[in-house]
Chain A
């Protein structure tokens, strides 16, 4: 069973003096999956990741990566692991190509084939100087850097920040390709929509505590999606009281509801009226937490 896990985090605690980075965090990442690590800024995502890579010490707990101890076997782990930090700098005044080749050489990975093909897919000119790059292009360098040495485990912290939507899509495609080759991906994000698009499972962290680990599908079923429709005339909300629909609001032709299942029935009901505008969206992270907490409080109240 142990062999199936890429990362096992047990009771991880990291304190910065009085401040809690993470507290008693338990989490495991299966080999071959793309795991999202979701939480607002300052929740402890980066702390967890950097503890795993021995960039910071742990106050307590144990982290195992491919059966190796995160701090004792740090160098052995790094041979199998690529890491893209949330915020990183490049060596200035060298060509991107030289910078990446340098990192390849530190990884003892001589082939530049993957580096070049990734640069092509992300439309990055490798002959540019590192100090002449825009934020988006710098992020592309980071993405190439984390993937080019073909390591088994890829850990990323906010990998799409600064990328334009088209490049984000390309990045998701690249990630799925990596997964097909058996890679494990663990990525921190504060964007629920992004995690939904690309991840198999998601771990949600808040204020240093792990709140929930869920398959994306299950999460979606639990939280649902928000449908906003603007009709030409006021409608009755009774029409939309379908199984799997909740939180109905109607205000002078503007209808808002949350769909957990039976999307087709809802669309059918909607289509009976003249529609001016329609929008189906995912919950924002804040709304998601709100939902989780109100539900949990309700459960506690019931008990």
Chain B
């Protein structure tokens, strides 16, 4: 319900909203602009790693030859082997003075080899380079496959060297926090401050029912959430257009991936309103609402850890804003959109019920 209270809320909060939207525009536009520089530097780094040459056997069960450019200062070389690029579980494959080794390929999966040079005058070995049995991968591949991060990509393998992968990790992974916490803050304070600044008595002595009051405040929050999302879409699409990447990340994809966070933000606004009418204090309401947002995030993250924890995902609002399926599969889940909107409405109905029961504090 949009009425005079909604209008007044938008009017008095306009300055703060515009400043916030300026920030949103800057980050949403700047993020794609950073991408080409980022890609170039990573590509360069990967090429640098090509100082190590790995020759795969032509037939099955053949020999792998690993060779590297000799380093003048080196007294000996060490080759580490791991099936993760992060080399956290590496074993020493070779220690010696040769600059090439040959060994049998007695495994199926991808393996990484890091060649280190030990020099007499230095204490720590120097990295000569890294090579892998399967080429074309970037070092972030595995990080993304880690269950702790797979929530961000829906468990997909994505490449940071593509604009889609880059934006998914560098924009969407924190955008929820920026927009979500802003909406949480606003929604608690638009009602909490009416309590704390003793405006509620005058407000509710006009012929405005408590129900209408809450609905109008919620409308104001929904309008603000929509505005923020639209500004982000505009900034994001502008940035993508600026680096001529609209063929990779279309404007439609930008729109659909971000519009999905509108009902997500509306749920947060509803929770903010609920805590404000329940506790009638800005600080308490804000603490609880912030805790809710983070708890939901962790539920979603833990839900990705294993099958037995999967139920956690279903109770997390993050599960119903699947931007990665829009970005990678061109699939917009309208059902999820409706579920979040329905949850927001249910929370608002409960808030109205609580508000109508409770005394207004003096």
With a CB–CB cut-off of 8 A, which chain B residues contact A92?
12, 197
Binding stretch for chain A, among B17-25, B143-151, B200-208: B200-208
Contact status B4-A56, CB under 8 Å: no
Interface residues on chain B, number (Cβ under 8 Å): 22
Contact status B201-A55, CB under 8 Å: yes
Tell me the chain A residues, 85-112 only, with Cβ under 8 Å from chain B.
85-94, 102-103, 105-108
Residue in A50, A55, A83, A107 with the greatest tally of chain B CB atoms within 10 Å: A55
B8 at the interface (CB under 8 A from A): yes
B5 at the interface (CB under 8 A from A): yes
| Nearest-neighbor residue (CB-CB) of A74 within chain B | B209
Contact status B206-A87, CB under 8 Å: no
B199 at the interface (CB under 8 A from A): yes
| Nearest-neighbor residue (CB-CB) of A53 within chain B | B205
Would you call the interface of chain B mostly helix, strand, loop, or mixed?
Answer: loop
Q: What 1/0 flags go to A33-64 for Cβ under 8 Å of B?
A: 00000000000001000100101110000000
With a CB–CB cut-off of 8 A, which chain B residues contact A93?
12
Contact status A85-B201, CB under 8 Å: yes
Q: What 1/0 flags go to B1-22 for Cβ under 8 Å of A?
A: 0001100100110000000000
With a CB–CB cut-off of 8 A, which chain B residues contact A79?
207
B306 at the interface (CB under 8 A from A): no
Contact status B8-A108, CB under 8 Å: no
Which bracket fits the contact residues of A? 20 to 34
Contact status A82-B199, CB under 8 Å: no
Contact status A102-B4, CB under 8 Å: yes
Tell me the chain B residues, 202-252 only, with Cβ under 8 Å from chain A.
202-209
Contact status B362-A91, CB under 8 Å: no
A50-B360 contact given A83-B205, A145-B202, CB 8 Å threshold: yes
Contact status B8-A75, CB under 8 Å: no
Residue in A57, A87, A106 with the greatest tally of chain B CB atoms within 10 Å: A106
Contact status B204-A55, CB under 8 Å: yes
Contact status A90-B360, CB under 8 Å: no
For the complex, give the distance between the alpha carbons of A86 and B205 in Å: 13
Residue in contact with A90 in the complex, picked from B8, B11, B199, B362, CB distance below 8 Å: B199
State the Cβ distance, B193 to closest chain A Cβ, in Å: 9
A176 at the interface (CB under 8 A from B): no
With a CB–CB cut-off of 8 A, which chain B residues contact A90?
199
Contact status A88-B8, CB under 8 Å: no
Contact status A46-B206, CB under 8 Å: no
With a CB–CB cut-off of 8 A, which chain A residues contact B209?
74-75
With a CB–CB cut-off of 8 A, which chain B residues contact A89?
197-199
Q: What 1/0 flags go to A153-192 for Cβ under 8 Å of B?
A: 0000000000000000000000000000000000000000
Contact status B359-A106, CB under 8 Å: no
With a CB–CB cut-off of 8 A, which chain B residues contact A102?
4, 8
Residue in contact with A91 in the complex, picked from B199, B204, B207, B360, CB distance below 8 Å: B199
Contact status B202-A46, CB under 8 Å: no
Q: What 1/0 flags go to B317-360 for Cβ under 8 Å of A?
A: 00000000000000000000000000000000000000001011
**A-B pairs, 10 with minimum CB distance:** A89-B197, A83-B205, A106-B206, A56-B359, A85-B201, A89-B198, A79-B207, A55-B360, A78-B207, A89-B199
Q: What are 7 A-B interface contacts by the 8 Å CB criterion? A: A79-B207, A81-B205, A85-B201, A87-B198, A88-B202, A106-B208, A107-B207
Given contacts A75-B208, A106-B4, A106-B208, 9 further A-B contacts (CB under 8 A): A50-B201, A55-B360, A74-B209, A78-B206, A83-B205, A94-B12, A102-B4, A107-B207, A145-B202
Could you list which residues of chain B lie within 8 angstroms of chain A, going by C-beta atoms? 4-5, 8, 11-12, 197-209, 357, 359-360, 362
Could you list which residues of chain A lie within 8 angstroms of chain B, going by C-beta atoms? 46, 50, 53, 55-57, 74-76, 78-79, 81-83, 85-94, 102-103, 105-108, 145
